[in-house]
Amino acid sequence: MNLSRNPRWRFGAGLFTLAAVFALSLNVPIPSLPDARRDAVLQEVSERLPGWRVKQLHATWEGAYTVVTTCAGRQIGFQYVPGHGLPASDAWLQPNDDFSRDRLRLLSDHWRHLVWYGSPAMINTLSCSDEIAGDGRTSMEARPLD
């Protein structure tokens, strides 16, 4: 009996090969090309939040990015959405929670909306050391109305 012609062995070998390919596909990372937009978002976040560590920066839907930064156990998470009704160099910010909304409101280039302009007249920043020191701007109620 020739093993290569036996249907049981061929079925078993095919099933083993399929399982091996599936296991390999789950464990091998997908190669990706360098992302210049991701680097630009990282630079923008680093300028706006000096001293904060970028914990996550992932591309999401339609050119947006999910950003999570940390500072002394505090975390700011938001979506960075360039364009969508704004010029391509500007971006909407969509915070994940109230703490993030409070901090991003301090950094926004617009008085009503959470927006970062590509070339603002003045860049608002929130350094990690200011956040730790609690410089009097720790909640929405503490910030004077615009």
Rounded alpha-carbon distances, angstroms, from residue 139 to 75, 104, 125: 15, 11, 16
Residue 89 one-letter amino acid:
S
Sorted by where each begins, the domain ranges of the chain are 1-31, 36-133
Asked if the model's pLDDT at residue 143 lies above 80, the reply is no
Flag whether the pTM goes above 0.75: no
Instruction: Encode pLDDT of 55-113 as tens digits.
Output: 999 999 888 999 999 998 899 999 999 988 888 889 999 999 999 999 999 899 988 99
The per-residue pLDDT for 43 is: 93
Between 108 and 146, the more confident residue is 108
The per-residue pLDDT for 132 is: 84
Asked if the model's pLDDT at residue 136 lies above 70, the reply is no
Asked if the model's pLDDT at residue 138 lies above 50, the reply is no
Asked if the model's pLDDT at residue 2 lies above 80, the reply is no
